[in-house]
Each structure stands twice: as structure tokens, then as C-alpha cells.
Structure 1
Amino acid sequence: MSGTVAAALATAGVLGVTHAIEPDHVAGISSLTAEYGDSRLSALAGACFSLGHVALVVVWLVVASVLLGRTDFPPLYDHLGTVGAGILLGLLGVAMAVTGVRRVLRTDTHTHGEVTHSHPHLHLPLPGFDSHDHSHDARSYLKTGLVGALFTLSPPVSMLVFATTLLPGTGPGVVSLAVLTYAVGITATMSLLGAGVGAAFGRLGEHSATVHGAAQAVAGGAVVTLATLLLVDASAALL
């Protein structure tokens, strides 16, 4: 492998990692995985999110570079994409906060002889797994991937410019390998983010469902705040 190809692949990997840790992506993955309380399933959710994300990046690359022969788009494209991501992120944040509040308030009552105990009611519908029988559900995987794709409504400018700059000197084979490296970087990073969030909330859940729910509610409020800031900035740019 030549030094040029190695440098190109390293750059693609770095672009994938830095793209994955953008605040809206971290918030989106957190809102999807905080409910699980399990690092393995949360990592799986992060991977599904990233695969949908990567799929739309590839679509952008093909349409922009191959079909249209361009890498620059009017700012309107980016602003509209940000509005869409902000709305989606806001909805995810609200759902996360509501789920947390419900976890705090909801209990199941069990009677043992003459003694009645109240236990937190936990039902965790996981992507691809039911919280009781752990059966596979392809539709849940697809829904998580779709959410990831919707976070890529704006043109991925850095990857578009990189791929177009790389193509004349290295050819389509190296560009394809660079895109694959970029995809691996995004997927690995988003999986780790999901696993970290799942492990953190799992630890909270070990203490009590109330603590888990309260943390979810607070985190959901933070996600909604971020979404609001994105919408305000994008709306101001459109006006």
C-alpha cells in the first residue's frame, strides 16, 4: 500500500470518527439508547443508526459527485437539512423525557400473602429484541437505521470534497475503499457511543428505576434544548 493510499484511508477514518461525534449525532444516539440500560443492545442500536447514516452519505456521494459532478451546494440545502434534523432530534428528546417521567411515576403492585409491594415497572422495547423474549425484529432495526439516515439530510460537505479531490489521482477503487473506511469509522464510533450510554444508564438502573427515569428525563430535556438551538440557528439563517 502506497503512502498516498494509506494517508487517504487514514483521513477517511478520521472524517468518519469526527462526523460521528458531532453533537446532534451524539444526542440522537443517546436518546435512542438510554432506554435500554444494556451496553450490548445499545451498541447494536448505535450500529443500526450509523448504517442508515452511512447509506445516505453514499447516496449523496453518488448523486453529487457522479451524477451531478459537483461538491458545492447552496447554503439553503444545509439549513433545510439542519431544520429537519432539529425537528427529529426534538421529537426524540421529548420521547426520551416522557419515557423517563413515566419510569419515575409508574409502578407495579405485587401481593405476597398479606404483604403488598410496589416495584418499578420496566418494559424496554429494544430494537431487534423484546424485553421479555429477546426475539429478533427486523422492522425495529430498519426504523433505527431510518432515523440515522434522516440525520444526513444536509450534504456531507467534508466527505464530498474529500472524495472528489481524491478521485482524479487514485481512481474509483481507492475512493470506494476510502468510503468504506469512513463507514467503518462512523459505525465503530457510534456503536461505542451507544454502548457507553447503555452502560451508564444500566448502572443507574441498578440503583433504582426512579434514578434511571430521572436521568432519562433530564437528558431528554438537554436533547430538546440542543434541538431548539439547532432550529433557532437554522431558522435565522433561512430568514
Structure 2
Amino acid sequence: MTGALLPALVTAGVLGVTHAIEPDHVAGISSLTSDYGDSRLSALAGACFSVGHVALVAVWLGVAYVLLGQTSFPAVYGQVGTLGVGVLLGGFGAVMAVGGLRRIVRDDEHGHGDVTHSHPHLRLPLPGFDGADHGHDTVSYLKTGLVGALFTLSPPVSMIVFASTLLPDYGADVVALAVLTYGVSITATMSLLGAGAGALFGLTAGRGRTVHGLAQTVAGIAVTALAGSLLVDAVPALL
């Protein structure tokens, strides 16, 4: 059992890392942490995102194998999940890009002397998206976890298949440890992604409002473009 356990856990950990660094996950975490400028808060946001994500992965595993006894799903499941992620990313990317543009405009207007301006703020009740309130309360992080769960609308096929190959030969205990390792690996990786994004945006924030706004705008456009590519792939397949 011990000889089989280590390779199983290593494989589960690798699957967790590769799953966490998929482009849509990186884009989602980056968009949620773009306004922090703080690697620790961004790491926490990434961890919250991953907790919701891992929870739904566990649900998929339970439904797939324990309840349905299957390791494959019709392609429509993946297409619907991709469509949902594309819509989410499109909204997040647009909010980030517009927020960056407004930051640039505000910086330009504030440089005109003693004229007072009133600026509307973008509001999205998630960490990093509320331009007026920079508090980071428990409810906000729970909502970030919910967003992470929504990024798992498609079945995690690789982990479902891997768990199903372990169960007949090694039993539920090894599968449970493998799933736990998978979840820890995802959480650690997504926390690092959040910390990295926070550090990068923190560097731009330190160079002034305009530079930070430009970085957010460019990143927002990139996230929106990724969302568009996901929608282009998913929508025709569903029609």
C-alpha cells in the first residue's frame, strides 16, 4: 500500500498544479486581485477562490463515481461550463479594463489644478472590485469562493478518471488522500498566483495612478479577449 500511495499522491499533486494554472483560472484570480497592490491580501483571495473551486471539484467526483458510477460525461457538460466561465471572465475583464481607464482619467483630471471632480466608482461586491470601499470582510471572501466554484462548472475529467483508476485497486482511503492532495495542491498554487498578481499590480501602483490604471486596462483587455475565445469555442458547439 505504501509503495502505491506515494506515486498516487505525487500524481494528484501534479494534476492539482496543472489544473490551477489553466489560463482561465489565472485570468480569474488576476482580475479579482488587480486592485489590491498587496501580495498577502491577493494570496488570501487566491486561496478563497481555490476553496470554492476545490469544493465543487469534490462534488463532481462524488456525483460522477459514487452516485453515477461513471468517469465520462457528454461533451455538452464541458461546453456549458466553458460558456459560463467565458461569461464570468468577460464581465470581470470589462470591469477591470474600465476601472483602469477611470483611474487614468481621474489622475489626468486631478492634475488640472483646483477643480473638484466627482467620480463614480465601479462596484462589484468582491475583493478588488469596489472602487470606494477597500475593506476586505468575510462576506467578500466567501463571495470570492463562490466565484471559484463557478469556474468548476465543467467536470474535472482528469481527476475523475484518475480517482476511478485508484478506487478498485487501492480503496476509498487512498482515493480520499489523493483528492485531499489534489485540493491542497490547487489551493497552494492559486494562492501563489494571487500573491504574484498582487505583487505585480503593487509594483505598478507604486509608479503612480496612471501606470496602475494602464496595467489594469491592459490586463482587463487580455482577460476579456480570453473570455471571447472561450465563448467562440463554446457557443457554436451548443447551437
Q: Is the 8 A contact 1:36 1:126 kept in 2?
A: no
Q: Distance in 2 between matches of 1:33 and 1:136?
A: 12
Counterparts in 2 of 1:21 and 1:136: CA distance versus 1, 3 Å = closer
Q: Distance in 1 between matches of 2:227 and 2:126?
A: 24
Aligned residue in 1 for 2:43: 43
Q: Is the 8 A contact 2:32 2:126 kept in 1?
A: no
Matched length: 232
For 1:198-209, list aligned pairs within 5 A: 198-209=198-209
Q: Distance in 2 between matches of 1:62 and 1:142?
A: 23
- Per the TM alignment, residue 163 of structure 1 is displaced from its structure 2 partner at its CA by 0.6
TM score, norm. by length of structure 1: 0.89
Q: Distance in 2 between matches of 1:236 and 1:117?
A: 51
Aligned residue in 2 for 1:189: 189
Aligned residue in 1 for 2:21: 21
Aligned residue in 2 for 1:219: 219
Cα distance per residue 1:109-146 (max 9 Å; x no partner): 69xxxx9599xx99998739x99998662210111001
- SS of the residue corresponding to residue 221 of structure 2 reads helix
Cα distance per residue 1:159-210 (max 9 Å; x no partner): 0000111111111111111111001110111110110010011011111011
Aligned residue in 2 for 1:236: 236
For 1:101-180, list aligned pairs within 5 A: 101-107=101-107, 127=127, 137-180=137-180
The AA in structure 1 aligned to 2:95 is A
Counterparts in 2 of 1:132 and 1:97: CA distance versus 1, 3 Å = closer
Q: Distance in 2 between matches of 1:133 and 1:221?
A: 24
Q: Distance in 2 between matches of 1:27 and 1:17?
A: 15
User: Kindly, what percent of the aligned residue pairs are identical?
Assistant: 69
Q: Distance in 2 between matches of 1:10 and 1:212?
A: 39
- SS of the residue corresponding to residue 154 of structure 1 reads coil
Q: Distance in 1 between matches of 2:149 and 2:189?
A: 16
Q: Distance in 2 between matches of 1:24 and 1:53?
A: 12
Cα distance per residue 1:22-64 (max 9 Å; x no partner): 0111111111111111100000000000000000000001111
TM score, norm. by length of structure 2: 0.89
| Ranges of 4+ aligned residues in structure 1 off by more than 4 Å | 107-110, 115-118, 121-126, 130-136
Q: CA RMSD in A?
A: 2.6
Cα distance per residue 1:93-115 (max 9 Å; x no partner): 011111111111125969xxxx9
- Per the TM alignment, residue 3 of structure 1 is displaced from its structure 2 partner at its CA by 2.0
Give unpaired runs (5+ residues) of structure 1: none
Counterparts in 2 of 1:131 and 1:227: CA distance versus 1, 3 Å = closer
Q: Is the 8 A contact 2:32 2:45 kept in 1?
A: yes
1:89 equivalent to 2:99? Answer: no
Q: Distance in 1 between matches of 2:76 and 2:211?
A: 42
Q: Distance in 1 between matches of 2:110 and 2:238?
A: 52
Counterparts in 2 of 1:123 and 1:233: CA distance versus 1, 3 Å = closer
Q: Is the 8 A contact 1:100 1:214 kept in 2?
A: yes
- Per the TM alignment, residue 237 of structure 1 is displaced from its structure 2 partner at its CA by 2.1
- More strand by percentage: 1
Give unpaired runs (5+ residues) of structure 2: none
Q: Distance in 2 between matches of 1:126 and 1:80?
A: 24
The AA in structure 1 aligned to 2:40 is R
